[in-house]
Amino acid sequence: MAFREIDEKNRVLWDLVDDAGRIQPGAVEELQKTYADEISMIPGTNAVIHLQWETWKSANGWLWDVPKGYGNVTNPSIETK
């Protein structure tokens, strides 16, 4: 699918707010009408995946969170806390 087709397909999303970030009059109603089928669809499952996190620390002291058990096979200089 070309970008222009994707852009037109999602036009209602791009027109939801103006350049200042304010919601355009009637835009929410148009969004609800355009995506009514998707909004009313019942999901195939109600499973919730709860992620557990762990903190990684680089040799330089930088910290960031990753999913627990993610592993670090590419950079052995990073330790988990």
Q: Kindly state whether residues 58 and 36 are assigned to the same domain.
A: no
Q: Kindly state whether residues 11 and 32 are assigned to the same domain.
A: yes
Q: Kindly state whether residues 78 and 54 are assigned to the same domain.
A: yes
- Is pLDDT of 81 > 70? no
With cut-offs at 50, 70 and 90, classify the pLDDT of residue 77: low
pLDDT (mean) for 68-76: 63
With cut-offs at 50, 70 and 90, classify the pLDDT of residue 13: confident
Q: Number of structural domains, the chain?
A: 2
Q: Kindly state whether residues 7 and 34 are assigned to the same domain.
A: yes
Q: Kindly state whether residues 36 and 53 are assigned to the same domain.
A: no
Q: Kindly state whether residues 7 and 36 are assigned to the same domain.
A: yes
Q: Kindly state whether residues 56 and 79 are assigned to the same domain.
A: yes
Q: What percent of the chain has pLDDT over 70?
A: 79
Q: Kindly state whether residues 33 and 9 are assigned to the same domain.
A: yes
DSSP the chain: --HHHHHHHTHHHHTSB-TTSPBPTTHHHHHHHHTHHHHHPPPS--------EEEEE-TTS-EEEEETT---SS-TT-EE-
With cut-offs at 50, 70 and 90, classify the pLDDT of residue 42: confident
Q: Kindly state whether residues 8 and 34 are assigned to the same domain.
A: yes
pTM score of the predicted model: 0.43
